[in-house]
Structure 1
Amino acid sequence: MAIMIPSAISPDVKSNAERHIFEWFENAKGTEDWIVLHSLGIVNHNKYIHGEVDFFVMVPMLGLFALEVKGGRVKRTNGIWAFTDKYGHSDMRVKGPFDQAWDGIYSIRQSLSNKLDTAHKHLEKIFFGIGVMFPDVAYASVGIDEEQWQVFDCNDGRNVRAFVERIAEGSIKGWNVQYGDVTLKNRPTVEDVRYLASILRGDFDMALSLRVQYNYIEDKIISFTANQYKCIDQLEDNPRCLIKGSAGTGKTLLAIETVKKYASRGEKVALFCYNNLLARWLQQYFEKQVEDLRPIYVGTFHGYLMKVAQQKNTMVKSPDSAEQIKLFFEYELPAMVSDTLKLQGGIFDRIVIDEAQDLMTEEYLKCIDSMLRKGISRGKWIFFGDFNKQAIYAHDMIETNYIDMLDKRTSYIRYKLTTNCRNTQYICDQIKVVTGFDKDVQYESMVQGTPVEYRIYKSKDDELKELLTILKELSHNKVESGRITILSPYKREKSVVSMLSGVKVENYTIPAPEEITFNTIQGFKGLENTVIILTDIESYEDIKLAYVAFSRARSGLYVLHSKVAHDEYNQICIRRFLNG
């Protein structure tokens, strides 16, 4: 993937053609040493007070290339260019894109000549070329001021690398006529490319603060969720559905939209989940919806069972000890209300469950069967879950165990969500490294984002120092406090967060505070935030917990791990590499 400067395309860029080409360069294989500057402004333009090149591509051992991009329909009549967008609006120009590109490259060369230091004066004679990109059309009109090899059109697909290499090869003849034979001295090295980038864009990319980068990234990630809605359409004619998907594939979003769809039709719908915080978030969401879109019940499954139990016996309370609580909610409570639910008979027309992997036991399914009209076998239900990677409360169960439990009860369709629409490419890559879970989710369309940062600590005091450094960096970059959540495998009193002073960190609640928040990894399952800081990581042995932890971050992820965990991480990386 090429190094893009800036690293995220601005939402202000209206050209879909430029957005696509930015992504194609960003994802082009074999371009790791390339540097691509987007919308490079030229103050000392040779014909205008201020000019701009759409893409300026600097390639080690090839050269420098100015690329103009023209989206939509293109036409040239009697020397007049016409560019028509998808809305039918036309822009007429005498100067064509090839002339623009040549003006741009000569202006850049002149600007560079005035800025080169003594050690880099040889770059005044660096090899260069131009190209014009028409990604939306098949371009066949080649005039006297252009060559076919200078043109990228829809027939090139997404292969921007081949296009630049084609320009480099085609430009040699013209260069030889004007400047003499091309030699290695005319080709930039990797160091030359980096030096030129520092001159042309300087600290521009650094000045694009993390806060702004995160905004760009999240705007882009949100746009991906639209492709998840096709799942809803495919469920229309199927009363019973099991939707499988890894973290970040849009399960909760789809559960919400499904509930709204059927509630609007007058169905009595229940939306159940396992996690208390997720339940409160869902409740808050539906409170803002018009009444016709709200389910009859939204909240935790256990909360509903307690409601039924307390209607029968107001003295029912959950026990105090952790061991008794587990026994009560998994066995005693379901048994207590199962007969009551059966007598009430078919309370809900449809049941939708998010985090279904945490609620599929024989005891719970018996209760669901009683509260659903026509039961599980003939009733309407949709279960969303990640039955392998996020089943952190499972009793050594695997996906086939869950499937078997449903198969013996009824027939239903299965649908798999495969596109991650929450996490950036860097985060997805680290999820694959740490957990080995890489077969079920497509990562190729993800936003690249910012690299995941690992910090090693040798003691709690050392970890505290690293945590404070991260928080200071985020504050310096003006990342809003409410977009930062610190997660730990331990409760607050056992976490490094308990040692913080002078920094306000609130326990995560719904609605979320505008301050930096803290929660356990387990308690935050099903939720997310812009920046996640993982603390107190002493091992990666529990890969399901690691999977939940890493996948909570939308844009920025920091990992504070011990020296032992760091060594374990290195061994995991080696093992993944050797296994291909």
Structure 2
Amino acid sequence: MIFPEYYPKNTKDFSNESVFHARFKKEMGREAIVYYSVKFITPDVPMREIDFIVVTPKLILCIELKNGKWRYRDSTWKFYNRRSKNWEEQENKPYKGPVDQIRSGRKILGEFLNNHNSFEDPVPDAYFKSCIFFLKNDPSDFPVPDKEKEFFVGKSKLKNKNLTMREIIKDLEDPNLPPLSQEQMKNVNEIIQVNLNFVEDFDSRLNSQQKKLIALTHEQFELLSRRKKFSRTIVLGIPGSGKTIVALEQARRLELERIKTVFITGNTYLANRFSRFRDWRFVHFINENNFDTLTKKSEFLILDSTEEYLNQDFISKLDSILKGGMSAGKWLLFGDFYKSIDILKYKEALTQLKGIADREVVWKENIRTPRKVYEQACILGRKEVIPSLLPDITGIHYVTIESEEEIFQKLSWSIQYGLRELDLEQEEIVILSLNPDLTKKIIDYYDSTKNGQPLVIAYNGNHHINRSHSGNSSVRIADLHEFHGREARFVILIGISDFNDPAYFESYYDALTRTTSVCSIIFPEKLREQLVTLFKKKNN
């Protein structure tokens, strides 16, 4: 099996890649999976492309094709330039010659697999190998140690019609190694396929995921359809369970039914967006502080994000704006399940309302955060890992930095990954910071070095999005509390100083559950061991 199944049309074929694509497809057999033109596009490793990666039960092999003539003299690799008719060194490359190219490529593959496997090598290092297919040389042409020549495959062997590609690859396998398990091979292949745009492209995955995001679950549909049977309902849900989405859908239905309703939210961003509902006649949107705008009592009350404002004193205020008061009136309340346990005043207020509610519903399934991202959110937040129902677009990207200055390069990698590879719009990407000083530093940096890069901008005091000079919305950056109750397709989390500090557990959980598609976490390399220990503890 080979990915992609067909050689791409309109591709310039400088190294006979189409020939080898066809041979791998025909001659490798069922045990092997071959990937052609593997581009490392994720922000956790440097950009690099490998011609072919072959995964067999005894080998994970990186292959580079060399269609020109090469020579090795005075410790230097040179290729023959047919245009200038001279022997020349490769220029403007992050490697020196074909051997360094394939070795560094194999190293990047190892780092990539490790990063996307909870910082564990999915298979032992002994199974990884790299080789060069020289189409116009034989290994004997190069005065290098025989140990290096073991991984040179020359023109004589490649042109031998009696040898299949499976036989050529089998010669590179170590006969003393036991075969990899099916689980190990599946893991390696899944990491490559999910993160590197194989099988189903990112655009198709995003479209499929979007359909799930806008569809109501059975529990949500049941809650909305049985409003008349239950007059007073409390819904406590984990982040990403769809509370605000259902609250707004209930408001929309009440507007259509011409029922006078008040919608109260503690979500600052949503409160500032109420103007988009100004043409609604029967649903009145307010935040928790502007009751004075109400002149008549409502027939129905929707309370969203109640963890931000609800207490026993506030309940008495609600009695004054709802027909029948809270004990006999009609209302629907949404709140955070975890905070209903942790915040004493909120817990006491809910206990009072539970005594008069017709029913209580608990939503513990996340439906708005991708599975892998939500799993990591629970681990970093030290919460029970409950599988999310939303499929993954790609894996979570852990990106390390050696110094604070390196964050600008890694931010650029992440942003470009979102724009170019995922085809997201700038406004669909947000950088969430846990360090206000770092937030300011990044804003100042981008403000002074625009140079065609995506312009990172901040929220102003009202949490509105500023505009760049061109009038286009830009990649956003915000401290985590400023982004409460909001979502973005791609979240980049920065400003992490300690994964083991309990003061930040809730912040890690909140930040990762803000994404509906993709997440990158940029953190100091010195904290890697904290994650390794944490993931091992979880696996055990």
What TM-score comes out, normalization by structure 1 length? Answer: 0.54
* CA distance in structure 1 between the partners assigned to 2:404 and 2:243 by the alignment: 37
Residue 436, structure 1, aligned to residue 428, structure 2: no
Q: Which residue of 2 aligns with 1:245?
A: 237
* CA distance in structure 1 between the partners assigned to 2:205 and 2:420 by the alignment: 14
Helix, strand or coil for the counterpart of 2:431?
Answer: strand
- In the TM superposition, what whole-angstrom CA distance separates every residue of 1:519-576 from its partner, at most 9, and x where no partner exists? 2211212111110001112234232222211100111000112356544434433443
- The residue correspondences of 1:39-438 to structure 2 (distance < 5 A) are 116=165, 118-120=167-169, 205-206=197-198, 210-211=202-203, 213-223=205-215, 225=217, 228-284=220-276, 286-287=277-278, 291=280, 295=283, 297-302=284-289, 304-305=290-291, 307-308=292-293, 347-389=297-339, 396-397=343-344, 400-407=347-354, 410-438=356-384
Helix, strand or coil for the counterpart of 1:522?
Answer: helix
**Larger relative helix fraction:** 1
* CA distance in structure 2 between the partners assigned to 1:222 and 1:115 by the alignment: 50
C-alpha distance 376-34 of structure 1, shift in aligned 2 (>3 A)? farther
- Between stretches 226-235 and 429-438, larger displacement belongs to 226-235
* CA distance in structure 2 between the partners assigned to 1:34 and 1:222 by the alignment: 40
* CA distance in structure 1 between the partners assigned to 2:367 and 2:458 by the alignment: 27
C-alpha distance 204-537 of structure 1, shift in aligned 2 (>3 A)? closer
* CA distance in structure 1 between the partners assigned to 2:417 and 2:225 by the alignment: 44
Contact 1:275–1:523 (CA<8 Å) still a contact in 2?
A: no
**Deviation of the 1:271 alpha carbon:** 1.1
C-alpha distance 271-229 of structure 1, shift in aligned 2 (>3 A)? same
* CA distance in structure 2 between the partners assigned to 1:354 and 1:432 by the alignment: 23
Contact 2:263–2:301 (CA<8 Å) still a contact in 1?
A: yes
* CA distance in structure 2 between the partners assigned to 1:562 and 1:282 by the alignment: 40
* CA distance in structure 2 between the partners assigned to 1:191 and 1:383 by the alignment: 45
* CA distance in structure 1 between the partners assigned to 2:518 and 2:495 by the alignment: 18
Q: Which amino acid aligns with 1:437?
A: K
Helix, strand or coil for the counterpart of 1:247?
Answer: coil
Structure 2's unaligned 5+ residue stretches are: 5-29, 35-54, 59-161, 173-178, 467-471
Contact 2:370–2:393 (CA<8 Å) still a contact in 1?
A: yes
- The residue correspondences of 1:549-568 to structure 2 (distance < 5 A) are 549-563=511-525, 565-568=527-530
* CA distance in structure 2 between the partners assigned to 1:403 and 1:560 by the alignment: 38
**Deviation of the 1:459 alpha carbon:** 3.2
Helix, strand or coil for the counterpart of 2:493?
Answer: strand
Contact 1:273–1:301 (CA<8 Å) still a contact in 2?
A: yes
Residue 451, structure 1, aligned to residue 413, structure 2: no
Q: Which amino acid aligns with 2:427?
A: G
Q: Which amino acid aligns with 1:253?
A: I
Helix, strand or coil for the counterpart of 2:477?
Answer: strand
Q: Which residue of 2 aligns with 1:546?
A: 508
Contact 2:274–2:285 (CA<8 Å) still a contact in 1?
A: yes
Q: Which residue of 1 aligns with 2:408?
A: 464
* CA distance in structure 1 between the partners assigned to 2:303 and 2:237 by the alignment: 13
Contact 2:439–2:478 (CA<8 Å) still a contact in 1?
A: no
* CA distance in structure 2 between the partners assigned to 1:282 and 1:361 by the alignment: 24
Q: How many residues align?
A: 370
C-alpha distance 457-204 of structure 1, shift in aligned 2 (>3 A)? closer
Q: Which amino acid aligns with 1:534?
A: L
Q: Which residue of 1 aligns with 2:145?
A: none
* CA distance in structure 1 between the partners assigned to 2:535 and 2:189 by the alignment: 32
Contact 1:354–1:383 (CA<8 Å) still a contact in 2?
A: yes
- In the TM superposition, what whole-angstrom CA distance separates every residue of 1:60-109 from its partner, at most 9, and x where no partner exists? 69xxxxxxxxxxxxxxxxxxxxxxxxxxxxxxxxxxxxxxxxxxxxxxxx
C-alpha distance 227-536 of structure 1, shift in aligned 2 (>3 A)? same
Q: Which residue of 1 aligns with 2:486?
A: 527
* CA distance in structure 1 between the partners assigned to 2:2 and 2:339 by the alignment: 33
* CA distance in structure 2 between the partners assigned to 1:571 and 1:451 by the alignment: 20
- In the TM superposition, what whole-angstrom CA distance separates every residue of 1:282-340 from its partner, at most 9, and x where no partner exists? 542x34xx635x51x214222x24x55xxxxxxxxxxxxxxxxxxxxxxxxxxxxxxxx
- In the TM superposition, what whole-angstrom CA distance separates every residue of 1:127-169 from its partner, at most 9, and x where no partner exists? xxxxxxxxxxxxxxxxxxxxxxxxxxxxxxxxxxxxxxxxxxx
* CA distance in structure 2 between the partners assigned to 1:188 and 1:457 by the alignment: 33
- In the TM superposition, what whole-angstrom CA distance separates every residue of 1:483-530 from its partner, at most 9, and x where no partner exists? 111111244774452233323012355579632112221121211111
Residue 569, structure 1, aligned to residue 531, structure 2: yes
Helix, strand or coil for the counterpart of 1:371?
Answer: coil
Percent same amino acid at aligned positions? 17
Contact 2:3–2:198 (CA<8 Å) still a contact in 1?
A: no
What TM-score comes out, normalization by structure 2 length? Answer: 0.58
Q: Which amino acid aligns with 2:511?
A: A
Contact 2:265–2:271 (CA<8 Å) still a contact in 1?
A: yes
C-alpha distance 446-207 of structure 1, shift in aligned 2 (>3 A)? closer
Contact 1:249–1:417 (CA<8 Å) still a contact in 2?
A: yes
C-alpha distance 402-567 of structure 1, shift in aligned 2 (>3 A)? farther
C-alpha distance 246-496 of structure 1, shift in aligned 2 (>3 A)? farther
C-alpha distance 361-461 of structure 1, shift in aligned 2 (>3 A)? same
- In the TM superposition, what whole-angstrom CA distance separates every residue of 1:433-466 from its partner, at most 9, and x where no partner exists? 1123236x553x4313311111233432122232
Contact 1:435–1:546 (CA<8 Å) still a contact in 2?
A: yes
C-alpha distance 553-374 of structure 1, shift in aligned 2 (>3 A)? same
* CA distance in structure 2 between the partners assigned to 1:205 and 1:417 by the alignment: 33
**Deviation of the 1:212 alpha carbon:** 5.1
Residue 514, structure 1, aligned to residue 473, structure 2: yes
Q: Which residue of 1 aligns with 2:44?
A: none
Q: Which amino acid aligns with 2:221?
A: Y
Contact 2:312–2:348 (CA<8 Å) still a contact in 1?
A: no
* CA distance in structure 1 between the partners assigned to 2:181 and 2:259 by the alignment: 66
C-alpha distance 402-460 of structure 1, shift in aligned 2 (>3 A)? farther
* CA distance in structure 2 between the partners assigned to 1:432 and 1:421 by the alignment: 14
Q: Which amino acid aligns with 1:530?
A: R
C-alpha distance 230-271 of structure 1, shift in aligned 2 (>3 A)? same
* CA distance in structure 2 between the partners assigned to 1:524 and 1:569 by the alignment: 25
Q: Which residue of 2 aligns with 1:504?
A: 455
Q: Which amino acid aligns with 2:365?
A: T
